[in-house]
Structure 1
Amino acid sequence: MNVRTKLAGVLAAPPKYILSLILGLCFLLTLFVGNAYASTIESEASSGIAWALSYLASNPFAYLFLTLAIGYPIGRITVGGINLGATAGTLVTGILIALASSALYGITYDIPGLVEDIFLMLFMYALGMRVGPQFFSGLARGGVDFLVIGLIVVFSNFLIVFFGVKVLDLGPGYAAGIISGSYTVTAVMGVAQSAVTSGAFQLPEGVTADTVGANMAAGYAISYVLSSIFIILLIKYLPKMFGKDAVLEAQKAEQEFSGGEDGGALPGTAGTSILGFTDKQIRSYKVEHAELVGKSVSQLFKMNPHAAILKVVRGDEVIDAEKDPSIQLGDIVGVLGDYNLLLNGKDKVGKEVSEPRARMVDIEVADIHVGKTRFAGKTLAEMGRKIGFGLHLKSLFRAGVAIPHLPKTIVEKGDVLRLAGPAWCVEQAAKSLKATPIVESAYTEVSFMSLALFIGFVIGHASVEIGGIPFALGTSAGCMLMGILVSWLRTRNPDFGGPTSEGARAFLNDIGLSLFVAVLAAGVGPKIMSSFQGTIVLWIAVLGLLGALVPPFLAWLYGYYIRKMNPVILAGACAGGRNSTPALNGIQDISQSGIAAVAYPVPYALTSAIVLILGYMAMVFS
């Protein structure tokens, strides 16, 4: 790729990414300028680059956010219709900075592992919140397939790497290291090392435990870096490779997993308070028909429940319908109703006039959970005549699934109604239904999230040891499952806090994953140089890439051709089988949807345990 192509790619990126790149470069320039000044005081032996990299190493905050500032726009550069994406761009940038620091000046980045853990768990919780409403329906629809996909990925990875190392005669330790790196599961090296220290693996004559450990580290470092980058690209572009539009396929999957009825955003998710399209309108008429005079607004609604007078303008006075005023001749009324009904307003009320004061009504959209009320068991038509004044029923949800909301549809206890209308009308209906209207807001509920993360950590951290091998769900998976559970509960009962702001959730998602990857890059980068020894590096790279990419591709072929799975859902399952959260983020980015994560947790949890067993076996039988 020549300089002109790179420049074109950068210029094609959105302005915010160009700005990020410029700011990042300006930061480096500031460091160099600062060093030029400092050099008049300090030893001349210290070079500008060395000083800058040393500054970053001494200040992890600067390293992390500089990596993001440069990595994001680099990830947006597109060549031949393909780009790395923000996650891989951040990973590559972090590795290059850490590698240059270590190789040129012996500078390493010591960032506490707690930082990495915190941001990963925040990301996983935010991810769970996004996909929770569809998770259980996804498990019911494709649970067996998700299990099979996980088994295909984990066992084919083992066979490729283990027998590849045998054929190439790479020596003990390499198989476990490459499995660990190509699967991006560092814990595999831990169980493999335990096989050495416990004596389960008998050291060959002339081979020391340190030698095995070095082989393991070399296999891990090289395969980890390569697999981390290329698995993102593979999962991200699998649908396109097979001629599928990821965005369209994601839309189909969302429709399928929401139950088939287009009811808008599910309760407990972002977008619930968007009014969207409706055939309801508010139009203003001058009262000219004597039969309306003397009747109250509520009486007129009982006579015609398909239209409601929301405001009455009488001279300089504007009266809300909440006060239930009686109509006088010459009043101007704002009427809410179906467009076709309002077209006949002249015959029912009087001449239509332009009176903004009669039409200035704030419309609120809220989810209401049907509690123990006399309206449970009634049809929507019956309920509407009693409590439907000024309201429009946008959607009806049952057990988290949108169902048709027709006049004869019976409302059951536990259903969720999405109502649109003036705030006082919504409040009035909610009171009758023994519920509280839930409106989407920017309230992020830190205490609720913190409690969920605490429980998720405890559940994921708990482990059971079988045959010397620890089995645990994993803290990140535990946090994701808590996010799923919280979102799922809110889908069925909005009283559990209502929806979290999508802006807050998306920020938590992006900053969590990006900083996790940046910390990861700081630790992996310096280890690469120590692994480059002769032609063995080439074989590690080849086996690492084969072990990382061939297994999910085989699982894709199974799901695509044999099971006819939705491509985006299938890509999410393959990412889960490969234990690659950044790859999942890649398919979500390109499909502009979070639906792929529905298929992620089942194969992720399954393979997280099995790969430890296989890593142990790879060491024992190497």
Structure 2
Amino acid sequence: MSWFVETLKSYPEIAIFLALGIGYWVGGKSYKGFSLGAVTSTLLVSIVIGILGVKISPNVKSVFFLMFLFAVGYGVGPQFVRGIAKDGLPQAMFALVMCVLCLAASVAAAMLAGYDLGSAAGLFAGSQTISASMGLATDAINRLGMPPDQAKQLLDAMPIAYAVTYIFGTVGSAIILAQLGPKLLGIDLVAACKDYEMRLGAGEEGEVGTKWHDFELRAYSIAPNSPFIGRAVGDLEGGTQEGVRAFVERIRRGGKIIEADLATRLEPGDVVAIGGKRDQLIARLGPSGREVEDVELLDVKTEGVDIYITNKAVDGHTLQELARWPGARGVFLKKIKRGPTETVIPVLPKTKLYRGDVVTLVGRTQDINATAKELGYVDRPTTVTDVAFMSLAITVGALIGAVVLKAGGVPLTLSTAGGALIAGIVFGWYRAIHPTFGRIPEPTVWFMNSVGLNVFIAVVGISAGPGFVAGLQKLGISLFLWGIFATSVPLFIGMYLAKYVFRFDPAILLGVCAGSRTTTAALGMICEAAKSQVPGLGYTVTYAVGNTLLTIWGMVVIMILS
């Protein structure tokens, strides 16, 4: 044991990987649906390692924190800008109000309890489950010009307060929003979501969403008395009721197979390969259409791909409207993902698409390529990251953040961390509309987000380890109770504001609240209680705004209380 401890002291880089390894392993375990998560687990493990006397250069955490914050901004950029600029404005404004409530409740708790700056910043970070805010709070404390010993004491207090208040911050938020919220607001969540789905077109001309989802390819022989003989393929595809989607992909004529387009005319004896829903295919051809087995005709190359929405002309249009576009011919929608958390959006006729969304389509390769030109570009899997773009963008943001302006002798600055966050938002949004550069694959964004943050947390925990036990003994119970106050008050007030002031639809109201507090666990419980993905429609814009502001509030807490 002595050799092990001395080795960690001599090679502190080993301690970081040890903290990450145990932290991720413990954080991945759950008990009755509750998990500490990787961040809290890594923090606790790091504190234990820190008690052993391991010391790590603070530059390590700075590097990884800049990387993390840029990834956060890069992910939320499209939704953040859309929320501020367009129809998401009411949700963005609510997120701003909710973030101010979170800040006010945390600052009030710290002032009433008489906590120092470090404990106050940790209380805010844990009660609002926004660990990233500790990085900006650290920068703000270091800029106060305190003696090193005093600054270290404050910085060591921060993770203690975070660890004590985080558990209720996570579990309590989910319980308040998913279980207490519907009862307090008098909302029948299941009925509200069903009603919302109906208003989005569910149940119109068939089962919910099936006409947008299913894809089958079948061969039918044109009957001798078919009304479509001599008419163009476009007539066959568009000749029945609105909402029914089926497409002629190929035709066997005289023993030969020809590729069909809208102008191709049907002849007696043709065998057509039609993609669509089976009962809709019969509706196209009439009851006299005879299904045949033709393996060669049905041997059509199809694929399912993700398409990144970038076309401004698509922004804000419903699926029902987009289905009428020529570019929608031959493709079927399987899934919509939105925002940095890849929130799954209900696929319904009146669901709107926005730039930055990722849609999964199924169809022939040539049809997919044609659709991609209308929507954006095919987001095929890649492992290559534009490192030059990423590094230079972080450099630009950090340089801007490093500028210090003085107002009445008070230094004002974004800090390098805040600059990296803003750079991520700007470049993430710009890439969403000009996707020809700056590609950072999803796995890389995850790594920057998760590992970047947890390395920062590991260094913070190791540094705070020696004073953790004494701090916990001094503040433990009272800190936990003040954490409950700081978590609960903004949520209760926010829910009533969302219903009676902002008048959000009951189906998305709780999702809006969860997004403003960036609590993904709560959204999962809300969707489970609602038996629907509809609450996720209120999550993405508010998450983008909330994640940005709550992170910045870490610096603001120090500015207010100092």
For 1:145 and 1:261, locate their aligned partners in 2 and report how far apart those are by CA, in whole Å: 28
Whether 1:611 aligns to 2:544 is no
The equivalences for 1:475-554 within 5 A come to 475-489=416-430, 493=433, 495=435, 501-528=441-468, 532=470, 538-541=473-476, 545=480, 550-554=485-489
Cα distance change of structure 1 residues 346 and 79 upon mapping to structure 2, 3 Å threshold: closer
Q: Deviations over 1:346-405 (max 9, x none)?
A: 6488420122333333045546665799xxx9x9889948666434578999xxx99986
Whether 1:282 aligns to 2:238 is no
Give the stretch that moved more between structures: 128-137 or 386-395.
386-395
Does the 8 Å CA contact 2:175/2:522 hold for their aligned counterparts? no
For 2:357 and 2:546, locate their aligned partners in 1 and report how far apart those are by CA, in whole Å: 29
For 2:73 and 2:424, locate their aligned partners in 1 and report how far apart those are by CA, in whole Å: 4
| 1:142 shift after superposition | 0.7
Q: Deviations over 1:37-78 (max 9, x none)?
A: xxxxxxxxxxxx122233333334432222222122323455
The equivalences for 1:421-460 within 5 A come to 421-428=363-370, 437-443=376-382, 445-446=385-386, 447-460=388-401
Q: Deviations over 1:93-117 (max 9, x none)?
A: 11112212x2xxxxx232452x322
For 2:20 and 2:225, locate their aligned partners in 1 and report how far apart those are by CA, in whole Å: 70
Cα distance change of structure 1 residues 326 and 391 upon mapping to structure 2, 3 Å threshold: same
State the secondary structure of the residue aligned to 2:290.
coil
**Amino acid paired to 1:305:** G
Q: Deviations over 1:384-430 (max 9, x none)?
A: 48666434578999xxx999868xx9x99999999754232344466
Aligned to 1:559: 494
Aligned to 1:270: none
Q: Deviations over 1:473-510 (max 9, x none)?
A: 3433443344444454566x475669965444334322
For 1:412 and 1:155, locate their aligned partners in 2 and report how far apart those are by CA, in whole Å: 37
Q: Deviations over 1:110-142 (max 9, x none)?
A: 2452x3223223333333344444432266341
For 1:228 and 1:613, locate their aligned partners in 2 and report how far apart those are by CA, in whole Å: 19
Percent pairwise identity: 21
- TM-score normalized by the length of structure 1: 0.62
| 1:91 shift after superposition | 0.9
The equivalences for 1:1-400 within 5 A come to 49-78=1-30, 82-100=34-52, 102=53, 108-113=54-59, 115-135=60-80, 136=83, 137=88, 140-146=92-98, 148-162=100-114, 175-179=116-120, 182-183=123-124, 184=134, 185-187=137-139, 189-190=141-142, 192-194=144-146, 214=149, 217-218=152-153, 220-221=155-156, 223-242=157-176, 244=178, 278-279=213-214, 281-289=216-224, 299-302=232-235, 304-305=237-238, 307-313=246-252, 318-321=257-260, 330-344=269-283, 347=286, 350-361=289-300, 362-364=302-304, 366=307, 384=324, 389-391=329-331
**Amino acid paired to 1:300:** V
Does the 8 Å CA contact 2:139/2:555 hold for their aligned counterparts? no
Does the 8 Å CA contact 2:385/2:444 hold for their aligned counterparts? no
**Amino acid paired to 1:442:** P
For 1:217 and 1:396, locate their aligned partners in 2 and report how far apart those are by CA, in whole Å: 47
Q: Deviations over 1:252-279 (max 9, x none)?
A: 9xx9xx999879xxxxxxxxxxx99525
Structure 2: tracts of 5 or more residues without a match: 125-133, 202-209, 240-245, 338-344, 528-535
Aligned to 1:5: none
For 1:278 and 1:311, locate their aligned partners in 2 and report how far apart those are by CA, in whole Å: 21
Aligned to 1:466: 407
Does the 8 Å CA contact 2:174/2:522 hold for their aligned counterparts? no
For 2:123 and 2:490, locate their aligned partners in 1 and report how far apart those are by CA, in whole Å: 16
Does the 8 Å CA contact 2:68/2:449 hold for their aligned counterparts? yes
For 1:413 and 1:225, locate their aligned partners in 2 and report how far apart those are by CA, in whole Å: 38
State the secondary structure of the residue aligned to 1:360.
coil
Aligned residues: 490
For 1:84 and 1:143, locate their aligned partners in 2 and report how far apart those are by CA, in whole Å: 25
| 1:237 shift after superposition | 1.1
Cα distance change of structure 1 residues 385 and 463 upon mapping to structure 2, 3 Å threshold: closer
- TM-score normalized by the length of structure 2: 0.68
State the secondary structure of the residue aligned to 1:311.
strand
Q: Deviations over 1:554-588 (max 9, x none)?
A: 3334324555595565466557xxxxxxxx67767
For 1:485 and 1:425, locate their aligned partners in 2 and report how far apart those are by CA, in whole Å: 33
For 2:555 and 2:309, locate their aligned partners in 1 and report how far apart those are by CA, in whole Å: 41
For 1:130 and 1:246, locate their aligned partners in 2 and report how far apart those are by CA, in whole Å: 31
For 1:454 and 1:524, locate their aligned partners in 2 and report how far apart those are by CA, in whole Å: 29
Cα distance change of structure 1 residues 236 and 591 upon mapping to structure 2, 3 Å threshold: farther
Cα distance change of structure 1 residues 259 and 151 upon mapping to structure 2, 3 Å threshold: farther
Structure 1: tracts of 5 or more residues without a match: 1-48, 103-107, 165-174, 195-209, 264-274, 576-583, 617-622
| 1:539 shift after superposition | 3.6
Cα distance change of structure 1 residues 57 and 360 upon mapping to structure 2, 3 Å threshold: farther
For 2:446 and 2:211, locate their aligned partners in 1 and report how far apart those are by CA, in whole Å: 22
Q: Deviations over 1:591-610 (max 9, x none)?
A: 79874733524643663454
Please say which structure displays the higher CA radius of gyration.
1
| 1:215 shift after superposition | 6.0
Give the stretch that moved more between structures: 74-83 or 352-361.
74-83
Does the 8 Å CA contact 2:516/2:546 hold for their aligned counterparts? yes
Cα distance change of structure 1 residues 450 and 606 upon mapping to structure 2, 3 Å threshold: closer
Cα distance change of structure 1 residues 477 and 215 upon mapping to structure 2, 3 Å threshold: closer
Cα distance change of structure 1 residues 220 and 358 upon mapping to structure 2, 3 Å threshold: same
